Every structure is written in C-alpha cells, then in structure tokens.
Amino acid sequence: MSEQQPENETLDRFLQWIAWKLPRRLVMWCAIRLIAHATQGAFGNQEVPELTAMDALSRWDGDN
C-alpha cells in the first residue's frame, strides 16, 4: 500500500495543476453543480447560505 502513496500524490498534484489552469467561468459552473448536488435528495431542505464547502464536498464524495 505504501507504493500507492507516491502514485496517488503525483496524480493529485497533476489534477491540482489542471484545476488551476481551468477558466474561471468553468470552475464557477462546477461549483454550482456541486452546490446543487449537495442540496438535493436527502438534503433537499438544506439552506444554501448555511451549506459549508466541506459539507458539499463530503456529500459529493459520498455519492460519487
């Protein structure tokens, strides 16, 4: 398992590099999709102003 760590770290760094190169408008739409996902289904009563980024990411990660 320790052999996977450097590979995952390299992949994460590459994906972070790509994320910083994306156009701001595309990133905005990605954020809107994330927020919409985090306020649907079981969390349909979630008020968007009270939704934290970490909660939204946790819900996304839990479903995908």
pLDDT tens digit string along 46-55?
999 999 999 9
Q: With contact defined as beta carbons under 8 Å apart, do 60 and 48 qualify?
A: no
Residues of the chain with pLDDT under 50: 1
Phi, psi values for residue 23, rounded to 5°: -65, 140
DSSP string covering 32-44: HHHHHHHTSGGGT
| pTM for the model | 0.75
